[in-house]
Structure 1
Amino acid sequence: MDIEGNKQLQEDEIIVLSSIYESDIFYPNKDYEGDKSYTFKFPVLNEDDFSENDIEDQENIFLKLNIFYPETYPSDEPPIFEIECTWTEKGIDISLDEKYKKEISNKFLEIWNDFKGEVIVYEWVQTLTDYIESELKNSLIEDIKKNNASTTISLPVTPDTKSPNDSSEEDDLDESLKSMHITSFSNAPIPEGVKMPEIFSSKEPIVDRKSVFIAHIASIQYVTQVGMVVRELLKNKKIAKATHNMFAYRIEEEGGVINEGNDDDGEHGAGITLEGLLEVIDARNVFVMVSRWYGGIKLGPDRFKHIKDIALQLLDEHGYVQHKKKGPTTKNVKKKSKK
């Protein structure tokens, strides 16, 4: 299908969604003016929920699903998405556990694989609505009651907000690893004789509106090597200071089982984009990370294109782009959950 065909299907889908949902639930995303982007706003917890659970003086909590339409949707690629959870009245971001973000991403990917070539945003919305009610809602209530609404709130740690006591490089490195949710990778036992893989980085970055993107790859055979490679990369102060270091890996284990996973490092949707890229080119036994230094100007969905392009370029240079998958794999897939 050509770009015009995709454009028509997208416009038809937007008309249908606008007829189903009220304008305060589904509306254009004004943060990315000029881009084809829309937002769904879902209530997660309201005053009645707080009252029923004896939680006082709390305001409504909403979850937002930001959808970006690439030119290749729905013929070749799914929409790009971001998930935000905010305590609207307080203006505070609530950091969803990686478990929830990963589960939502996996559900979306399953739907895309089942309906590839068709518009799927409505199915995504229905799935997310069900997930909020069945999983997310009760978990947030338990966290708020248990921690008096404190530990569900996560503020980003930047060089300006770090404590003076966090001066040692090792402490900084451990904090970076913790924020990327790979502590379990770093602390896991490494099979005897496994050495640090050789790491290759992009020779030339992609630069767009002052944002800089560089990719890094390494050949790996064990999931524990993910932690080894990330720790080694973050020893480079320039990489450690990147705004985001998103990564994905894909390993073929015994019996043909594919073990794959990703981490957004705060750039929601980037990890699953990289994981999807590895799956599309059927790359195996490889780790890929993309470092992004934010230049102060929002790129909208262009940032996902740059993340994918810089990773694909480096993967191609090192022989990982051999063939594209023709259809869904018949092999078992084992996902690594983050903790």
Structure 2
Amino acid sequence: MNGSKKLFETRELLLWLKVKIKVNLEHQVVNLAQPLAILAEPGLLGASIEPTTDLHQAPTINSMNEDLHNEIEAINSIYGDNSLVGTSEDNVYILQIPERDASLRIEFPPTYPTIPPAILGSQSSGEKTRKGEAAHVVTVFRDVLGRLFRPGEVCLFDVIEEVSNTLAETSESLVDHNQQNTESTFDAEPEDEGQRPGDQALYNPPPWTLSDVVVELKSVFIARCAPVSSPDEAKRYLQHLLDSDKKVRSATHNITAWRIKGENGVTYQDCDDDGETAAGGRVLHLMQLMDLWNVMVVVTRWYGGHQLGPKRFSIINTVARDAFVKGGLVKEESSTKKKGKH
């Protein structure tokens, strides 16, 4: 009878040890010395077994970079809860700009702060946000980050403070500028909504040709192209688009590329990933293969919460090509071409 009792207790102990080791493996905390030591303790088989570790306890080693973890806690303590929060996307966080109705998508590499974070673009902008302000915030943030980042040193607090000061100065200058324009044009004819004084070139919307919309795992892609004759014109067209279209302004990425032949045979080629790494270069390469000149293209993507992997590049090039075809820039056999103007 005593032998059967000890055999039962031995099996019970081994079962508990098996569960404990399994849980520790799931938590990536493996300590085989402790359970082996328990087996060696004399008289244990006759004693009751009371695990000292909660089987549902959270992992003791956080997979997050410790420096980043501490910085997130500091930012949320200084600027308020949820100022910097994670997303379903690995290493991607949403930063709410203090005292601004705008937020940014930021990707922190696993080796941060050895490598700087990447500003993927604007996440959202509120109803009271002025046209173009979200894009301006992204530009300012990238510029400040580039100036202040030092390898091995966390930098987000310093960047946020510098960005806040810069945006405050910009807002004050804009208010003074608007007041001066209001006084000087008080008796002039009223301007159309959305127009800003001083830039006649932006009064007429660019002649965009739109591609078909492509939706993949809730991510939405659309491209638009327009003829351009100079890099300055291409930049004005892009700024007009961001200023006048809130949906485009709040998109995750606005990938741009253009190829221009100027006077005396001077050529200009440029592209911008806007956070979608290598996407701008791929679109520019597509334009080179198609031998397109004096045209620009903007591919807009709204992230749907699911990573697409390399497939996203194929979709980006597909909608870009579709815009070129619909714009009459490419001879496409068979189907008739339909233009969508915006």
- What band does the TM-score fall into relative to the shorter chain? 0.3 to 0.5
- TM norm structure 2: 0.43
